[in-house]
Amino acid sequence: MRGGGVLGLLVVAVIVALAYKYYFAGTDGQTAAMVSKPRQAIDAVGVKNDLIAIAQAERNYQIQNSKFASLDELTSSGALSMTKSGRDGYTYEVTSNDDNFHVIAHCPTATIPGCSSFTVDSTMEVTTIP
């Protein structure tokens, strides 16, 4: 009976080890994807906040100067206190004309597969670019 108890304990240990391997370690990169999804969500929130800040700076700049500005003009004039022209691999691009501005946060798909690019304009609504 003593040998059967040890054998049963060994079987339980193998089952627990396999369950751990497949659940926590992942079998096909699934865990890496699960870890990167929250990180992508956090990055996306930061990028959207940056876009809103840029859009607000554009509105303020337009009120004071009767025109919209480039990203460099916004930062050099002090209308925007952003020190970088991007975040976590995203790069920002501002285009403007007399009536409107358009800010795009370009997603670094080469380094972050599955991420999304975003845009905002004078409506102050951040949208995802397909």
- Domains identified in the chain, total number: 1
Residue 20 resides in a domain: no
pLDDT of the chain along its 130 residues, tens only?
455 677 777 777 777 776 666 655 544 444 444 445 677 777 788 899 999 999 999 999 999 999 999 888 998 888 988 877 777 788 999 998 878 999 999 988 887 787 889 999 999 999 998 7
Residue 73 resides in a domain: yes
pLDDT at 13: 78
Residue 40 resides in a domain: yes
Q: Are 108 and 39 in contact (CB under 8 A)?
A: no
pLDDT at 56: 94
Residue 7 resides in a domain: no
128, β-bridge pairs:
118
Separation of alpha carbons 18 and 49, rounded Å: 43
Residue 11 resides in a domain: no
Amino acid (one-letter) located at 26: G
100's CB contacts (< 8 A; 6+ apart) are: 68, 121, 122
Give 99-122 pLDDT, tens digit per residue. 899 999 998 888 778 788 999 999
pLDDT at 2: 56
pLDDT at 33: 43
pLDDT at 4: 61
Q: Are 97 and 81 in contact (CB under 8 A)?
A: no
3-state SS, residue 62: helix
Residue 15 resides in a domain: no
Q: Are 93 and 106 in contact (CB under 8 A)?
A: yes
Residue 96 resides in a domain: yes
**Could you tell me the residue range of the domain that residue 47 belongs to?**
36-129
Residue 30 resides in a domain: no
